[in-house]
């Protein structure tokens, strides 16, 4: 079963009187365990497609299936449940909850899922150690650097055991060193845990990590090709 | 506790303290509102209690038993027999705490200079004291109160003595009618003068022993009324029916609300006014609460979008915001109730209002106001605050729960 199937997905937006095309009959199939990058200039539709796949936005036309579930047939609560159980998000801005510590942020999704406190803590500490933040568990976001915050967000995205991680410009606010570390981490999680990664980016360094590169322009897929991954240099 | 609820509870508490100043200002405002509600309720309850108790002391008693017709013609012709059988048994067991049988007739009282119309009460001092209707020791300004049901002295109100131009130790003449409409009169010595909170009470009532008055009126062992009390005038309806059935159809049993509908209506009006006062105070505070919560939502739109994106259901977002509001309300309630307790308790010994004595007397009140702190008022104000507070918070919380996650996350 495919991890994600998009069939002729369309999305338009109103901007004043103008009608903007966000997605124009996008069809795409993503297999479990893929490491895929969506690339293209700003306004090409990468984020719109990511939001639609992540059940955050509803397309005007077409059909999206995630893990065998057709999103169009799900209620708001069911979509929330799907995001909770199957999808992990990493956003461009760090998007941590400022009143929670690093550990509590990582535990957040697991707690909403209903995992026991002991289990949550063990997983959260393991994930924070995996992203290189052992010893910083009790720090709040304001006490962490940008790169550290983004790593907490990654730990949170994968700690709950999702099938699919969607990352929108995850390195946009990071320096090259932190970016390389983050992408190494994504690659490692993909390789070790088999988590499917879909990353929207226009950073060539990030694209280099992808085993499949989908290029978008004006809301359409203009190229979809497999490639040999190339890691960023750690400066 | 479910995971979502636990995380909501923790987040709500921490979010509450993100903007200390705003939270503390709102907390202070609601606390003052709660304090004001309880304080005003205590004052009003104290006033109402005093008015009703003063009224009951002149009635007196919470429940009265009469012969039929006595209320229309409170003369000796409508006397009743001394309580016996089922009625006596009902009067001697709980919930009745005290009862008294008395002769109560209209009479003329004359000194050597003046005469006045009064209500003459022939009483047993011990049972009247138990009932709370006899003047207290500190209300006897001169001389003494009656020593027993056979005491043939007379105790007058200080104001009546003044008007009769008589005093302690002097003799007055009492004149009334016996059941055969013959004039019954005799001289009595003034053995005591009493003061009452209301001057009208001092002018209206004169006390003598029950037995000398029965003899004067030639009514044997008959009495005018039985007054009974269970110690809580607000709940007479709970025990009066037992007396009704014990008294049987040949006697009339009436509660103070029936005997003095004005007092009963006043009590209901005061209770209604308390409710309106509470609702108005908190309705005003609700605007502040809505504003606080709306600001909290406005400042956290991205965060709320993030929580939705991470899988928190709209209902959980709603609950999170309501919990935040509830924490604020509960903290305010604790502070407000505590402040009310600390300020009202010392005042229960009385607030001296002698400077406005005349106005107080017009309202049927004495010169000292005794605020009465009641658990029911505290519970009621708590319920009003929680109910209205949660209602006021629903709109901003509902709006937060309906936010579009994509727009929320991308909000600058």
Provide the pLDDT for residue B55: 67
Provide the pLDDT for residue B349: 78
Determine the residue among B11, B307, B310, B316 to mutate to test chain A binding: the one whose Cβ has the most chain A Cβ atoms within 10 Å. Answer: B310
Same domain, B226 and B272: no
Instruction: From chain B, pick out residues whose CB is under 8 angstroms from the CB of A95.
Output: 302, 306, 409
Q: Which two tokens stand for residue B204?
A: 């209206």
Instruction: From chain A, pick out residues whose CB is under 8 angstroms from the CB of B14.
Output: 99-100
Could you give the percent of chain A with pLDDT greater than 70? 97
Number of domain units in chain B: 2
Tell me if A18 is assigned to some domain.
no
Same domain, B36 and B72: no
Determine the residue among A97, A121, A153, A167 to mutate to test chain B binding: the one whose Cβ has the most chain B Cβ atoms within 10 Å. Answer: A97
Tell me if A97 is assigned to some domain.
yes
Structural domain containing residue B235: 61-259
Give the domain-ending residue among B226, B244, B259: B259
Tell me if A86 is assigned to some domain.
yes
Provide the pLDDT for residue B17: 86
From A81, A95, A104, residue closest to B311, measured CB to CB: A81
Question: How far apart are the CA of B402 and the nearest CA of chain A, in angstroms?
Answer: 10
Question: How far apart are the CA of A209 and the nearest CA of chain B, in angstroms?
Answer: 25
Nearest to A101 by CA among B10, B298, B308: B10
pLDDT tens-digit series, residues B169-186: 888 998 888 888 888 888
Number of domain units in chain A: 1
Highest mean pLDDT among A211-215, B202-206, B306-310: A211-215
3-state secondary structure of B291: helix
Provide the pLDDT for residue A84: 92
Contact B205, B106 (CB under 8 A): no
Spatial distance between the Cα atoms of B160 and B119, rounded to a whole number of angstroms: 12
pLDDT tens-digit series, residues B236-247: 777 777 777 777
Question: How far apart are the CA of A180 and the nearest CA of chain B, in angstroms?
Answer: 25
Spatial distance between the Cα atoms of B349 and B344, rounded to a whole number of angstroms: 9
Give the domain-ending residue among B211, B227, B259: B259
pLDDT tens-digit series, residues A205-222: 899 999 999 999 999 999
pLDDT tens-digit series, residues B281-306: 777 877 877 887 788 788 888 888 88
Residue A123: which CATH number?
3.40.50.300
Same domain, B154 and B82: yes
Same domain, B251 and B281: no
Contact flag A83-B311 (C-beta cutoff 8 Å):
yes
Q: Work out the average pLDDT over A171-176.
A: 80
Provide the pLDDT for residue B372: 79
From A80, A98, A99, residue closest to B308, measured CB to CB: A80
Spatial distance between the Cα atoms of B178 and B378, rounded to a whole number of angstroms: 53
Same domain, B254 and B277: no
Same domain, B35 and B94: no
Provide the pLDDT for residue B286: 77
Confidence band for B56, pLDDT divided at 50, 70 and 90: low
Give the domain-ending residue among B224, B259, B294: B259
Structural domain containing residue A200: 32-59+75-226
Tell me if A70 is assigned to some domain.
no
B190 and A CB contact within 8 Å: no
Q: Report the greatest alpha carbon distance in chain B.
A: 100
Same domain, B233 and B133: yes
Same domain, B98 and B165: yes
Q: Does the pLDDT of residue B59 top 60, yes or no?
A: no
Same domain, B217 and B310: no
Question: How far apart are the CA of B387 and the nearest CA of chain A, in angstroms?
Answer: 27
Same domain, B51 and B66: no
Q: Does the pLDDT of residue B264 top 90, yes or no?
A: no
Question: How far apart are the CA of B323 and the nearest CA of chain A, in angstroms?
Answer: 16
Contact flag B7-A111 (C-beta cutoff 8 Å):
yes
Tell me if A23 is assigned to some domain.
no
Strand-pair partners of A198: A36, A166
Q: Work out the average pLDDT over B214-230.
A: 84
Same domain, B30 and B73: no
Q: Which residues of B83-98 are buried (b: 16+ CB within 10 A; e: fewer)?
A: beeebeebbeeeebeb
Same domain, B44 and B98: no
Strand-pair partners of B247: none
Spatial distance between the Cα atoms of B118 and A84, rounded to a whole number of angstroms: 85
Q: Work out the average pLDDT over B74-101.
A: 79
Q: Which of A153-167, B90-104, B347-361, B383-397 has the lowest mean pLDDT?
A: B347-361
From A56, A85, A97, residue closest to B406, measured CB to CB: A56
CB atoms within 10 A of CB B383: 11
């Amino acid at each position: 079963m495919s991890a994600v199937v998009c069939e002729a997905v369309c999305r338009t937006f109103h901007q004043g009187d103008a009608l903007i095309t966000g997605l124009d009959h996008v069809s795409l199939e993503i297999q479990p365990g893929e490491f895929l990058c969506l690339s293209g200039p700003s306004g090409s539709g990468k984020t719109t497609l990511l939001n639609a796949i992540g059940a955050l936005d509803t397309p005007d036309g077409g059909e999206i299936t995630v893990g065998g579930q057709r999103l169009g047939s799900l209620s708001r609560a069911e979509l929330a449940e799907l995001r909770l159980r199957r999808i992990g998000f990493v956003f461009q801005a760090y998007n941590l909850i400022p009143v929670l510590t690093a550990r509590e942020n990582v535990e957040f999704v697991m707690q909403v899922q209903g995992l026991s406190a002991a289990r949550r803590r063990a997983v959260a500490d393991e994930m924070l150690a995996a992203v290189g933040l052992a010893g910083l568990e009790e720090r709040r976001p304001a006490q962490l650097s940008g790169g550290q915050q983004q790593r907490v967000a990654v730990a949170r995205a994968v700690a709950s055991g999702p099938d699919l991680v969607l990352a929108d410009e995850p390195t946009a606010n990071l320096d090259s060193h932190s970016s390389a570390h983050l992408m190494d981490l994504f690659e490692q999680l993909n390789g070790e845990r088999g988590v499917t990664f879909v990353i929207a980016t226009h950073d060539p360094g990030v694209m280099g990590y992808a085993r499949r590169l989908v290029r978008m322009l004006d809301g359409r897929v203009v190229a979809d090709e497999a490639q040999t991954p190339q890691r960023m240099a750690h400066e | 506790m479910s995971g979502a609820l636990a995380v909501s509870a923790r987040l709500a508490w921490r979010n509450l303290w993100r903007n200390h100043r705003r939270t503390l200002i709102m907390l202070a405002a609601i606390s003052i509102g709660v304090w004001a509600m309880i304080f005003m309720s205590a004052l009003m309850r104290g006033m109402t209690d005093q008015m009703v108790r003063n009224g009951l002391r002149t009635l007196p008693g919470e429940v009265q038993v009469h012969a039929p017709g006595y209320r229309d013609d409170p003369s000796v012709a409508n006397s009743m027999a001394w309580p016996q059988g089922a009625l006596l048994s009902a009067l001697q067991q709980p919930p009745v705490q005290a009862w008294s049988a008395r002769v109560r007739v209209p009479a003329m009282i004359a000194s050597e200079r003046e005469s006045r119309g009064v209500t003459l009460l022939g009483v047993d001092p011990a049972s009247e004291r138990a009932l709370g209707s006899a003047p207290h020791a500190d209300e006897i300004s001169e001389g003494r109160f009656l020593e027993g049901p056979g005491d043939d002295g007379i105790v007058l109100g200080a104001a009546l003595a003044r008007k009769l131009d008589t005093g302690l130790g002097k003799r007055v003449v009492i004149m009334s009618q016996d059941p055969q409409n013959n004039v019954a009169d005799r001289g009595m010595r003034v053995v005591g003068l009493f003061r009452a909170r209301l001057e009208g009470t001092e002018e209206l009532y004169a006390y003598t022993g029950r037995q000398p008055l029965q003899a004067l009126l030639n009514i044997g062992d008959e009495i005018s009324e039985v007054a009974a009390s269970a110690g809580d005038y607000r709940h007479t309806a709970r025990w009066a029916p037992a007396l009704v059935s014990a008294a049987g159809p040949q006697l009339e049993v009436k509660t103070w609300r029936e005997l003095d509908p004005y007092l009963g209506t006043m009590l209901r009006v005061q209770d209604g006014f308390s409710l309106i006062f509470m609702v108005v105070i908190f309705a005003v505070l609700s605007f502040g609460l809505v504003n606080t919560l709306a600001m909290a939502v406005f400042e956290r739109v991205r965060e709320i979008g993030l929580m939705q994106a991470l899988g928190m259901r709209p209902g959980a977002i709603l609950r999170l915001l309501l919990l935040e509001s509830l924490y604020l309300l509960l903290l305010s309630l604790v502070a407000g109730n505590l402040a009310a307790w600390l300020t009202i308790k010392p005042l229960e010994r009385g607030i001296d209002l002698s400077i406005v004595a005349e106005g107080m007397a017009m309202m049927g009140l004495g010169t000292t106001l005794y605020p009465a702190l009641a658990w029911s008022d505290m519970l009621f104000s708590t319920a009003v605050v929680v109910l209205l507070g949660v209602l006021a918070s629903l709109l901003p919380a509902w709006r937060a729960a309906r936010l579009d996650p994509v727009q929320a996350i991308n909000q600058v």
